[in-house]
Chain A
C-alpha cells in the first residue's frame, strides 16, 4: 500500500483528462492524417529523423509544454498510431525540465527556443560502460579557471546527432559518495571537441535519432552549469520522475495501437471464439490498469510532488503491457506487417529511462521505506 494517497487529486486529474477529449481528438486527427502508412514505413526503413513532422506537430499546437496533461495526451495518441514518428515528434524537448527547474536565465532563453522549434535538445546520461548505475558514470568535467573541460563519452543518446544542445551529466569531483560529485551542464553541440556518431540498426523507434557522443577537451563556461555544482544526480532523478510518466504514456499509446490492430483483425475476419475474446478482455484490462497507474502518477506530478514509486509502477506496468499487447497482436494478426512495428517499438519501453529492473528496485525501496 502506498502511503499518503490523495484520492481527491486523483479524481480531479481524471476529470481533467476527460475534459481534454476534444484536444485528444485533435491529436488523433493530426496523427491519422500526417502519419501516412507511406511515411511511417519510409522512416522505419531509412532510420532518418522526420524533421518536418516535428515542426508540423509543433505548429499544430500539439506540443504545449506549459500543460503536461496535453503533452501526455499528445504522446499517447501519436504513439497509438506509430511510436517511431510519435516519439520523433515529441522527443526534441527531452531534458527540458532540468533547465526549467534548475536552469539560469540564459539557459531558460535557450529552452524557450527549444519549445518554439528553433533548437532541438537531448539528454546525455548513459555511458558505454553503463546506464543503470547513473552515479557510476565516468565522463569528467574539470574546472580550470572559469571554465570546465569535459572529456568522456555518452551512449544511446536520443537526438544525439541532431540536437543543438545537450543537457549533460558529468563528474565534477571524486567524492567518496559518488552521487555527490555529479553536475549538469548545458552543452552547445557546435562547440569544438564535440562529436556525435549516429547509431544504426535499432529494433524499433527507428525514426528517432540515437547517437554516441564524444567529448574531447570540450570547454564550457561556469555559466553553462545547470543549477548547483554537485547536485546533478539529484536533478536527473527528479527529471526521471517526470520523464518516466512520459514513457508510460508512450507505452500506453503503443498498447492501445496494438489493441486497435487486434480489434480490426477480429472484426474484419469475424472472429468470435472465446479463446480470442478472453485475450481481448485481458489486454483491454491491462491497458485500463496502465492508464489508471499513469494518470495516478501524473496527478502527483501536476501538484509538483511526483511520487517515485507510483511513477515507476506506471512505467513498469505500462511498458510490460505494451510488450504484452504487441506480442498478442502479432499472434492474432498472424505477423501482419503493420502490427510488426508495434512489436518492435514496444520493447524499448522496458529499457530506456530506467530498465524495468531499475524501476522495480525503486518501487521496493520506496515501499520498504514506508511510502513514497
Chain B
C-alpha cells in the first residue's frame, strides 16, 4: 500500500505542477480544468467504482487534496466540496452529481441557512445547476441566477448570491453540517498543502534573496523559524496519515496553516504582498478556511471528544 500511495503522490505532483494557478485565481476554475480534474478521477475520488467513481480510500483521497493544495488550493477545495460535502448528502440521489463528476457542471454548496426572497446569500460554486442547502433537513434547489461576491480565499471557486427555485428535501442521513464534521482530516490535508506550498516558496526565496550582503537563510530568525515550521509540517503529515483523532489533527493544522502561510509571505518582503509571487494566496486561503470551518461549533466538537460529553458551551 505504501508504494501505491507513493506513486499516487508522484502522479498528483506531476499533474499539479502543470496547473496554471495564476489563471485559476484570475478567471476561476473553468470547464476545461474541471474536465481535467474529472479525467484524473479526482472529482469522484470517494465515490465507489460500481457507482462510476474512483473508489479511493481516505488516505489516497487526502494525498490528492494535500498535494494539489500545494499548487492550487482552489482545485483541491473544489474536489473537497464534491467528495466531502456533496457526495455524502446526495449519496442516495447520485443523479444530481452525474454531470458534476464528469466535469460538466458545478454543484453549489450553501454556507448559510437563511433564505431571503428565494435566494441564498453565500454559495460556493454559485455557478452550478443545483445548490445543496445548508438546512438541517437535507435539501436541494435549482439555481436560477447568481451574483458574484468576493470570498477572498480559494479564488478559483465562484462564490455569490444565488436565486433558487424548486427547492426540495432529499432522502439522506447527512446534511452539510454533518458532512463537514466527518471531513476534518481532509480539511487538514488541504491545510497541509497550503503549508507545504507556502513554505517551499519561502525556503527557496530565502536561499537566493540577499539583504545586507547575505542570504536571508543565514539570519537566525529566518532560518530557525522556517526550520521549526518544516518540523511542524512533517508532524502534521504524519498525524494526517495516522489514526490520531481527526479533530486533533484539524486543530493542529489550522493555526499552523495561518501562521506558516503568513510568515512565508513575510519572508518575501514587499514582493510577498503582490499576487505575482504566488505566496499571498496561501495566507488568504488559510484564513478563509479557518473563518468558514473553525469556530465554536468545531471547538465544541473537540471538547466533546475530550470530555466525552457536551462542554464549553457557556
Contact = CB atoms under 8 A, between A and B. Distances in A.
Contacts of B221: 357
A130 B214 CA distance: 12
B102 interface: no
A334 B291 contact: yes
Interface in B195-222: 210-213, 219, 221-222
B258 interface: yes
B273 A337 contact: no
Interface stretch (A88-96, A254-262, A272-280): A272-280
B292 A327 contact: no
B276 interface: yes
Nearest to A274: B314
Contact of B212 (A136, A201, A335): A136
B149 A348 contact: no
A350 interface: yes
B290 A351 contact: no
Contacts of A156: 270
A337 B150 contact: yes
A344 B153 CA distance: 11
Nearest to A129: B210
Contact of B290 (A330, A347, A350, A352): A330
B296 to A, nearest CB: 6
Given A201-B276, A340-B152, A334 B270 contact: no
B274 interface: yes
B248 interface: no
Given A156-B270, A351-B272, A132 B212 contact: yes
Given A130-B210, A136-B213, A347 B295 contact: no
A202 B275 CA distance: 6
Nearest to A355: B269
Given A275-B312, A335-B152, A352 B270 contact: yes
B174 interface: no
B284 interface: yes
Interface string B242-281: 0000000000000000100010011001101111100010
Interface in A332-360: 332-335, 337, 340, 343-344, 347-348, 350-352, 355-357
B287 interface: yes
Which of B210, B274, B284, B291 is the most central at the interface, judged by chain A CB atoms within 10 Å of its CB?
A: B291
A84 interface: no
A331 B213 contact: no
B299 interface: yes
Contacts of B288: 335
Contact of A335 (B151, B258, B296): B151
A264 B64 CA distance: 39
Nearest to B259: A327
Nearest to A343: B287
A44 B268 CA distance: 23
Contact of A351 (B150, B211, B269, B296): B269
A344 B272 contact: no
B262 A347 contact: yes
Contacts of A172: none
A3 B241 CA distance: 54
A113 interface: no
Contacts of A203: 273-275, 280, 283-284
Interface residues of B, number: 39
B307 interface: no
B159 to A, nearest CB: 10
Contacts of A335: 151-153, 288, 291-292
A323 B262 contact: yes
Interface string B142-164: 00000001111100000000000
Given A274-B314, A275-B299, A335-B152, A199 B287 contact: no
A348 B212 contact: no
B288 to A, nearest CB: 6
Contacts of A340: 150, 152
B294 interface: yes
Contact of A350 (B266, B274, B314): B266
A357 B266 CA distance: 10
B253 to A, nearest CB: 15
Contact of B270 (A200, A274, A351, A357): A351
A309 B292 CA distance: 39
Contacts of A350: 266
Contacts of A351: 266, 269-270, 272-273
A271 to B, nearest CB: 9
A132 B273 contact: no
A204 B273 CA distance: 8
A273 B295 CA distance: 12
Interface in A301-347: 323, 327, 330-335, 337, 340, 343-344, 347
Interface in A170-217: 199-204
A232 interface: no
A332 B274 CA distance: 26
- Which 5 A-B pairs have CB atoms at the shortest separation, nearest pair first? A201-B275, A335-B291, A340-B152, A156-B270, A330-B291
15 contacts: A133-B213, A201-B274, A201-B276, A203-B283, A203-B284, A273-B296, A332-B295, A334-B111, A335-B151, A344-B152, A347-B265, A347-B273, A351-B269, A355-B266, A355-B269
Interface of A: 126, 129-133, 136, 155-156, 199-204, 273-276, 323, 327, 330-335, 337, 340, 343-344, 347-348, 350-352, 355-357
Given A334-B111, A347-B283, 15 more contacts: A201-B275, A202-B274, A203-B280, A273-B296, A273-B314, A330-B290, A331-B290, A331-B295, A334-B292, A335-B151, A335-B292, A337-B149, A340-B152, A351-B266, A357-B221
Interface of B: 111, 149-153, 210-213, 219, 221-222, 258, 262, 265-266, 269-270, 272-276, 280, 283-284, 287-288, 290-292, 294-296, 299, 312-314
